[in-house]
Amino acid sequence: MNEYEQYESDVIIIGAGGAGLRAAVEAQAMGLRTAVVCKSLLGKAHTVMAEGGMAAAMGNVYPEDNWKVHFRDTMRGGKLLNNYRMAELHAREAPDRVRELEAWGALFDRTEDGLILQRDFGGHRYARLAHVGDRTGLELIRTMQQKAVADGMEVFMELKVLRLLHDADGNVSGLVGYWRPTGKFVVIKAKAVVLATGGVGKSWMYTSNSWESTGDGHAMALWAGADLIDMECVQFHPTGMVWPLSVRGILVTEGVRGDGGVLRNSEGTRFMFDYVPDMFRTETADSEDEADKWYDDHTAGRRPPELLPRDEVARSINSEVKAGRGSPHGGVFLDIATRRTPEDIRRRLPSMYHQFKELAGVDITAEAMEVGPTCHYIMGGVRVDADSTAATVPGLFAAGEVAGGMHGANRLGGNSLSDLLVFGRRAGIGAAEYAQGRAGDVTLDEGQIQQAIDAAVAPFQRESGENPYDIQQDLQGTMQSLVGIIRTGSELEEALGKIEVLEERASNLSVKGGTTYNPGWNLATDLPSMLTVSRCTAMGALNRKESRGGQTRDDFPKADPEMGKVNFVERIADPSTAPTGACGTPSVRSITSQPEPVPVMPDDLRALLEEAL
């Protein structure tokens, strides 16, 4: 019998990025006992990495902007695979969430008349991103962290969650995990659980994501019987650093392009003019002259093609490199040095200036940057009710990157930070209302707790076995080369086979040392989530026989209107009877992937898409 500490709360939020903290603040304000659990220290979650800004149609720079235009841009950017209701709520509510952040202390850059300044980003018709230079995520997370601390929030720092727990009726009733500093196990009982665990990018070799992005929330939801959708839709951000190798994948903000930066190939050509898809042709400039006029006055010319949605730009860069027109280290050139003054660059993009100066020895005010696509964001995630963020199992809610639907097949830059706040708040309300209405005592099943702990400590009991770092590296290699930015059916099948083999290997993990702050063990307990979500992505990618947003199939290069009417849904039909795989979690072989209809948009919203706005 394993020992563990036990705590209790009304609402437990897993994840302390923007969505988790916003959910916590809301649930606590509604009078519920609320606690936040996070894998790292408070204030270090991946939100801190967000750079360019937070999209909200406040109309401070372009008064003609409004939620309808933002809704339209989001849906078109998502190739209409979005949950329309989420896109609508997001566009309507984002401005209030930004203003609320300001009242809590956030200091955004200002317009001439003292309002919040908004910047241009890809796919957004108007300058719409509230920002602080290129460190907007830091501003968001620090403001929310300070608000949570001021509200006296209970925070469980450096606690890795292994599994969700449920009662006999299948209601999610808490979690089991361990303190990373001590290795001691912890059970937290709760009436409602909110997942705000972020993304999955650590399963790829070149990613902008930190070690934390192992898809824990996605996987735990699936293991608890919840549905995931759109897991094949993975965003490769067009501009990650490519050199030196040790920084490959680190993000270069889209703000560089929003503020005038352009992409060039080795011949010096602004190649994006050659890659404008029909869907965006009427609103995209067809000459450099026209594009350059647009920066100062959006009515003087159409948008530069560098500001097409991210999926378009990433694919174009990939094509240029393949055609032999890449930069020396396998990327392309991002040039702002010849476009803006050094003072402007340092003022508007201070983090980028330092990042390149210190990590690559490149002065971006004098030279072009070398950039290429990097795994950045997963559009897919837990299938939720748009209004309440409720997952498809009772007692479970999800917000932020771990939730699916809001961004469809491709997310627009800047829509993530606003998503965190809009749906973080809604998750707080949804979970609080559910907890208030939940009748009877919350009961836990000791068997589930013991099984999870047994599985977690098993690697210590094996004298020899697989090194978790080797499995992680092999998984990253598999996902990078076979489930990357451009996919084909045969490679996806190969990936599915490899993931099964990796799962076999992961059931024989061996870990050295003790349980106190042991990164090798921590990784061993992250691997089941990484394998599970990787499997979901590969399955969805194999099934979606078309190219749409974050899913590009070399063997099906066009969008298929019929495929556009379905989401692929991954689930484990009956987790309690599913065969056990790595670390005691249901085997990846028990996951199914089936098409189900995308929610049908009402006519009034559909009309907005077709209106010439």
Partner 1 sequence: MAEEIIRSNQSGEVTMRIWRGDEEGGEFAEYVMPAQEGEVVLDVIHRVQASEAPDLACRWNCKAGKCGSCSAEINGRPSLMCMTRMDTLPPGETVTVAPMRAFPVIRDLVTDVSYNYEVAKRIPPLSAREKTPDEVEAGGYRMAQIDVERSQEFRKCIECFLCQDVCHVVRDHEENKTAYAGPRFFIRSAELEMHPLDTNDRRQLLQENQGLGKCNITKCCTEVCPEHIKITDNAIIPLKERVVDAKYDPVAWLGRKIRTRSKRSAADAAALAPSQGPAAVLPPGGVHGIPQPHGQGGPVLAGSVPNAPVAPGQSVEEDAPE
Distance, in Å, from the CA atom of 31 to the CA atom of 34, rounded to the nearest integer, reads 9
CB atoms within 10 A of CB 497: 13
The C-alpha angle 138, 353, 373, rounded to 5 degrees, equals 80
155 binds partner 1 (CB under 8 A): yes
Q: Are strands 185-195 and 5-14 parallel, antiparallel or unpaired?
A: parallel
Residue 425: active-site member: no
Site for partner 1 in 495-534 (CB under 8 A): 511-514, 516-521
CB nearer partner 1, residue 268 or residue 330: 330
Site for partner 1 in 104-123 (CB under 8 A): 104-105, 107-110, 113-117
Secondary structure of 538-578 in the HEC alphabet? HHHHHHCCCCECCECECCECCCCCCHHHEEEEEECCCCCCC
Shortest approach of partner 1 to residue 112 CB, angstroms?
8
CB nearer partner 1, residue 188 or residue 608: 188
Contact 188, 537 (CB under 8 A): no
Shortest approach of partner 1 to residue 486 CB, angstroms?
5
**Among 554, 562, 574, 596, contact with partner 1 (rule: CB under 8 A):** 554
Shortest approach of partner 1 to residue 157 CB, angstroms?
3
The helix-helix angle for 519-543 and 489-506 (nearest 10°) equals 150
Distance, in Å, from the CA atom of 339 to the CA atom of 430, rounded to the nearest integer, reads 47
* Binding track over 225-244 against partner 1, x by CB under 8 A: ------------------xx
282 binds partner 1 (CB under 8 A): no
- In 324-435, the DSSP E strands lie at 332-335, 369-378, 381-382, 396-398
- Counting residues that bind partner 1 (by CB under 8 A) gives 92
Site for partner 1 in 456-495 (CB under 8 A): 467-469, 473, 477, 480-482, 484-488, 491
Site for partner 1 in 121-150 (CB under 8 A): 132-133, 135, 137-139, 142, 146-147, 149-150
**Among 121, 156, 377, 556, contact with partner 1 (rule: CB under 8 A):** 156
358 binds partner 1 (CB under 8 A): yes
Secondary structure of 111-136 in the HEC alphabet? CCCCCECEECCCCCCCCCEECCCCCH
Site for partner 1 in 249-268 (CB under 8 A): 250-251
Q: Which of 254, 278, 309 is nearest to 78 (CA)?
A: 309
Judged by CB under 8 A, which stretch of 37-45, 170-178, 334-342, 416-424 contacts partner 1?
Answer: 37-45
**Among 8, 154, 283, 290, contact with partner 1 (rule: CB under 8 A):** 154
CB nearer partner 1, residue 18 or residue 137: 137
Shortest approach of partner 1 to residue 210 CB, angstroms?
4
Distance, in Å, from the CA atom of 25 to the CA atom of 421, rounded to the nearest integer, reads 11
Shortest approach of partner 1 to residue 168 CB, angstroms?
29
Query: Terminus-to-terminus CA distance in the chain, angstroms?
Result: 64
Shortest approach of partner 1 to residue 337 CB, angstroms?
21
Shortest approach of partner 1 to residue 580 CB, angstroms?
25
Sheet holding 592-597, edge to edge: 381-382, 228-229, 566-571, 592-597
**Among 66, 319, 351, 450, contact with partner 1 (rule: CB under 8 A):** 351
Residue 124: active-site member: no
CB nearer partner 1, residue 78 or residue 459: 459
Site for partner 1 in 55-84 (CB under 8 A): 58, 60
- Among 46, 70, 124, 257, the active-site one is 257
Q: Which of 549, 105, 587 is nearest to 310 (CA)?
A: 549
Which tokens sit at 48? 């801190």
Provide the H-helix boundaries in 61-109. Answer: 67-77, 84-103
Shortest approach of partner 1 to residue 477 CB, angstroms?
7
CB nearer partner 1, residue 478 or residue 590: 478
Shortest approach of partner 1 to residue 449 CB, angstroms?
19
Secondary structure of 157-178 in the HEC alphabet? CCEEEEEEEECCCCCEEEEEEE
- Among 125, 128, 135, 237, the active-site one is 237
**Among 91, 205, 399, 431, contact with partner 1 (rule: CB under 8 A):** 205
Strand partners, 36: 13, 155
Distance, in Å, from the CA atom of 169 to the CA atom of 224, rounded to the nearest integer, reads 12
The C-alpha angle 95, 385, 36, rounded to 5 degrees, equals 70
**Among 17, 18, 43, 255, contact with partner 1 (rule: CB under 8 A):** 43
Judged by CB under 8 A, which stretch of 86-94, 163-171, 206-214, 389-397 contacts partner 1?
Answer: 206-214
Which tokens sit at 54? 């937070």
Q: Which of 45, 251, 252, 253 is nearest to 142 (CA)?
A: 45
**Among 181, 328, 342, 497, contact with partner 1 (rule: CB under 8 A):** 181
Query: Which residues are annotated as catalytic?
Result: 237, 257
